[in-house]
């Protein structure tokens, strides 16, 4: 195994250290609020270029993704300068998505600013008394808060987060707008108490969002492999087990920037179903396969909006899923 391969398989995504600082983000917000988008974009360009050039592992992960995407879309893999430019296009898109997050949290985005691309799925979500929503680091999920922020459809949107870095940024967003309709739930060790709290939110008619393109921090081997952009990739069992525990409808939701405006895609993913214990792993595998297919579909629709900066396809000889003990105990009432 080469040194590059070792680097790509030696760490879990949560071990990647955040680069930059909250002070830097606050300065960018200040520039945007005072001077507008034009100066923000000018300042952002060299900042993102610096992080792109100096972030070797992230850059290699982006190239790996784009190579797989190009192959899946029957396009040639980029080489040399063309590859470098294509990768930076995705990286810069991530920077601009931060600006859209600010707009969402400053209350500048409402339901009238969104185009609901899938009205049937949207209506089904609104009619559900409680729902689990699968999403991914694709597009801009914060924009979707507008769907739940006003009128008769107003309800809390709970987003489950895992890693230690997230709270600082989320707390900053809360400081920007304390009335924002997203409630971040930080979970380190998922236990029975968390299960009860989340089930109560579902019973109260709230929605729970979980990003299903990340493996568990505490149970990284609790995965099912599924074909994604031409390679077998690990998808955490946790989101699918959680959906099974909650006994409620499950939806997919992605908010993509298309031609300068946001389109929201909402699909009914699964109905609540009782699954026997012996059939659970097969059920979760089927859900992982389907989620991977839909994520692939939307990545091809918005190729520069999947903001994944670690190796998503680690090479491993172990293809047997190890069930999440925390979630298995929750399912079994332990």
Higher pLDDT, 89 or 95: 89
What range does the domain containing 207 cover? 3-331
Q: What is the pLDDT of residues 264-321, one digit of tens each?
A: 999 999 999 888 989 999 999 999 999 999 999 999 999 999 998 888 998 643 444 4
Alpha-carbon gap, residue 270 to 250, rounded angstroms: 5
Pair 143, 255: CB distance under 8 Å: yes
* Cβ-contact 86, 68 below 8 angstroms: no
Distance CA 276, CA 17 (A): 40
Read off the pLDDT band of 152 (50, 70, 90).
low
CA–CA distance, 77 with 229 (Å, rounded to integer): 13
Q: What is the C-alpha separation between 331 and 324, in angstroms, rounded?
A: 11
The pLDDT of residue 8: 44
Average pLDDT over residues 217-237: 89
Looking at every residue in the chain, the average pLDDT score rounds to 80
- Between 68-82, 161-175, 245-259, the lowest mean confidence (pLDDT) is in 161-175
Tell me the three state secondary structure of residue 78. coil
HSE at residue 153, side-chain half, CA atoms within 13 A, is 16
pLDDT at residue 159, as a whole number: 85
How sure is the predictor about 28, in pLDDT bands with cuts at 50, 70 and 90? confident
Give residues with Cβ within 8 angstroms of 229, minimum separation 6.
65, 68, 69, 71, 72, 296, 299
What is the number of domains present in the chain?
1
Query: DSSP string of 110-147?
Result: -GGGEEES-HHHHHHHHH-SSEEEEE-SBB-GGGGGGG
Per-residue pLDDT at 204 exceeds 80 = yes
| Residues 266, 125 contacting (CB under 8 angstroms) | yes
Least-confidence region, from 10-14, 153-157, 195-199: 10-14
pTM, entire model: 0.84
């Amino acid at each position: 195994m080469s040194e590059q391969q070792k680097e790509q398989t030696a760490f879990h995504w949560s071990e990647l250290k955040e680069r930059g600082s909250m002070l830097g983000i606050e300065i960018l917000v200040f520039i945007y609020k005072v001077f507008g988008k034009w100066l923000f974009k000018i300042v952002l360009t060299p900042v993102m270029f610096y992080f792109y050039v100096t972030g070797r592992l992230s850059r290699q992960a982006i190239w790996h993704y784009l190579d797989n995407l190009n192959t899946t879309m029957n396009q040639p893999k980029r080489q040399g300068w063309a590859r470098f430019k294509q990768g930076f296009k995705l990286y810069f898109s991530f920077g601009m998505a931060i600006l859209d997050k600010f707009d969402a949290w400053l209350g500048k985005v409402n339901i009238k600013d969104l185009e609901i691309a899938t009205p049937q799925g949207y209506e089904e979500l609104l009619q559900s008394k409680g729902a689990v929503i699968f999403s991914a680091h694709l597009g801009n999920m914060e924009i979707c808060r507008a769907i739940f922020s006003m009128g008769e459809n107003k309800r809390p949107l709970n987003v489950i987060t895992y890693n230690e870095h997230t709270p600082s940024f989320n707390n900053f967003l809360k400081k920007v707008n304390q009335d924002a309709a997203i409630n971040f739930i930080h979970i380190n060790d998922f236990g029975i108490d968390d299960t009860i709290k989340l089930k109560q939110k579902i019973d109260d008619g709230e929605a729970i969002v979980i990003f299903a393109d990340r493996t568990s921090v505490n149970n990284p081997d609790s995965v099912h492999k599924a074909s994604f952009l031409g390679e077998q990739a690990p998808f955490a069992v946790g989101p699918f087990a959680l959906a099974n525990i909650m006994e409620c409808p499950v939806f997919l939701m992605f908010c993509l920037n298309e031609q300068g405006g946001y389109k929201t895609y909402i699909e009914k993913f699964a109905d609540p179903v009782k699954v026997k214990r012996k059939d659970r792993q097969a059920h979760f595998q089927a859900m992982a396969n389907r989620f991977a297919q839909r994520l692939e579909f939307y990545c091809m629709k918005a190729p520069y909006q999947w903001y994944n900066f670690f190796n998503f396809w680690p090479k491993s000889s172990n293809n047997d899923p190890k069930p999440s003990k925390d979630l298995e105990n929750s399912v079994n009432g332990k």
